[in-house]
Structure 1
């Protein structure tokens, strides 16, 4: 998830850093962050936009907060996309298995994060569990199906996560606590973390077809693809300004589940 207010300062900081670097250093940075044509093709084949894609530890970050791991990039798509729409709720083809009935997903908050993130995690768990889904959530102090941990220094996003694999949730949410801060733990921070957990259990951005809806800037429609954007039946075909899975969020905003979010959650889980 991204916050629009961060983009300009981060861009200025990056420019200043590069200006101070030697020519040799600058060339090393460009080579390190360059995304190959093969990777670009893999990103597109998986149904994601290559715009603003960036190399990060463990894979490539797309759409502002979604980590495509090296394993996922090299995988072969097996599904066809059902629909490209406007601003409905979307899921990936990879979901968390609940074939055995109700399943509990445990979440651990790393000690690398401030205590406010424990408060926020308890609130996101309350929000999900209030929907009486087949997925239940619980916070633990060791282990954990999903671990919330500090993002690498210098990260340009608020938080990032990936998608389920093998019927299990994605196991890590990287959190940029320096950018998010510690205020409004039960509202703003809980919304950001609930959003990333949404990715971990298979949800895409509500406005994936046009991320400018919540992020501003240039209109971006990713178009048809072979995997990864399945319309959730019963969700609206028009804009949804308060969905918890919108790509970007304003500072201090709170997005508890709205009626369309609840429809999507209950349909899948």
Structure 2
């Protein structure tokens, strides 16, 4: 009882924060083991097989990309957009029917995450793309942002995840980890906004910037060496250390850099 009372007090004290008191913050069960067959399918698609997490929706790879069972059986098309020594990548599926406005709805998340969503929306809308985002309070949204509660697994913390477009539509969900091991008791708005901005990039079809060589941001090793990059004129030839789509975050604010903007406009401003 004493522990329960302390938990209630902690929740009340953090009422304005994103904490484990949210109704959708029931801690999820530890993920189940991933079979060798599934790992082979993930590797065949060119994704890292390190720390793959199994969920009810599919498998989370590279920390934040959801692959469904159906996608594992597909041959995904990857196009590389070269923006320097580290490249931008997009999936074979992009959002179509342009120009269009994608609505975004937030479900059961606290003020810091709401402000983070608004920050990400402003950043995209400032680029003059043929895709715009608009937050709505109710109804069916193009993208729904909601929470899940996942404690660290084998020392690895999950922060968020989303997926790639299907049938010309953006991936319909962004999940943010409300466990305090991820964003803490009082999430930093700019950091949360940068993570949400990153996940929105996946929803539009963007892979990780260091898809060819994840060692650039995560200390891992290359997993894909059979892509012929397409150079984007006007971009530099040096490394791109601050891209919003790096696989591993720098732990702080990460708005679009100049190369990110060039890549997004190449895809969605024409």
After the TM superposition, which residues 115-126 of structure 1 pair with which residues of structure 2 at under 5 Å, given as runs? 115-126=111-122
Assess if the C-alpha contact under 8 Å between 1:92 and 1:230 holds in 2.
no
2:102 corresponds to 1:105: yes
Q: Distance in 2 between matches of 1:174 and 1:107?
A: 13
Assess if the C-alpha contact under 8 Å between 1:94 and 1:202 holds in 2.
yes
Q: Distance in 2 between matches of 1:208 and 1:126?
A: 26
The number of aligned residues is 229
Residue in 1 that maps onto 2:65: 66
Q: TM-score, normalised on structure 2?
A: 0.77
Assess if the C-alpha contact under 8 Å between 1:33 and 1:55 holds in 2.
yes
1:43-93, Cα deviation, whole Å (9 max, x unpaired):
122221212222123111111111101221122x16476699951111111
SS at match of 1:33: coil
After the TM superposition, which residues 135-150 of structure 1 pair with which residues of structure 2 at under 5 Å, given as runs? 135-142=131-138, 143-150=140-147
Residue in 2 that maps onto 1:114: 110
Q: CA deviation at 1:41?
A: 2.4
Residue in 1 that maps onto 2:201: 198
- Structure 1 residues 34 and 232, CA, compared in 2 at 3 Å: closer, same or farther? farther
Q: CA deviation at 1:225?
A: 5.7
Q: Distance in 2 between matches of 1:231 and 1:47?
A: 18
- Structure 1 residues 49 and 189, CA, compared in 2 at 3 Å: closer, same or farther? same
Q: CA deviation at 1:211?
A: 1.9
Residue in 2 that maps onto 1:18: none
2:148 corresponds to 1:151: yes
Q: TM-score, normalised on structure 1?
A: 0.77
- Structure 1 residues 80 and 146, CA, compared in 2 at 3 Å: closer, same or farther? closer
Assess if the C-alpha contact under 8 Å between 2:93 and 2:168 holds in 1.
yes
Assess if the C-alpha contact under 8 Å between 1:65 and 1:161 holds in 2.
yes
Bigger relative contact order, structure 1 or 2 (CA pairs below 8 A, ≥6 apart): 1
Q: CA deviation at 1:231?
A: 5.0
After the TM superposition, which residues 207-222 of structure 1 pair with which residues of structure 2 at under 5 Å, given as runs? 207-215=210-218, 217=219, 219-222=220-223
After the TM superposition, which residues 35-50 of structure 1 pair with which residues of structure 2 at under 5 Å, given as runs? 35-50=34-49
- Structure 1 residues 49 and 80, CA, compared in 2 at 3 Å: closer, same or farther? same
SS at match of 1:91: strand
Assess if the C-alpha contact under 8 Å between 1:211 and 1:247 holds in 2.
yes
2:265 corresponds to 1:266: yes
Q: CA deviation at 1:154?
A: 2.1
Q: Distance in 2 between matches of 1:60 and 1:256?
A: 27
Q: Distance in 1 between matches of 2:56 and 2:226?
A: 25
- RMSD over aligned Cα, in angstroms? 2.4
Q: Distance in 2 between matches of 1:138 and 1:62?
A: 28
Note the residue ranges of structure 2 that are not aligned, 5 or more in a row: 1-29
Residue in 2 that maps onto 1:241: 241
Note the residue ranges of structure 1 that are not aligned, 5 or more in a row: 1-28
1:234-263, Cα deviation, whole Å (9 max, x unpaired):
454532111111111233x11111110000
1:189-234, Cα deviation, whole Å (9 max, x unpaired):
111100000001001111122222222x3x31012469xx965734
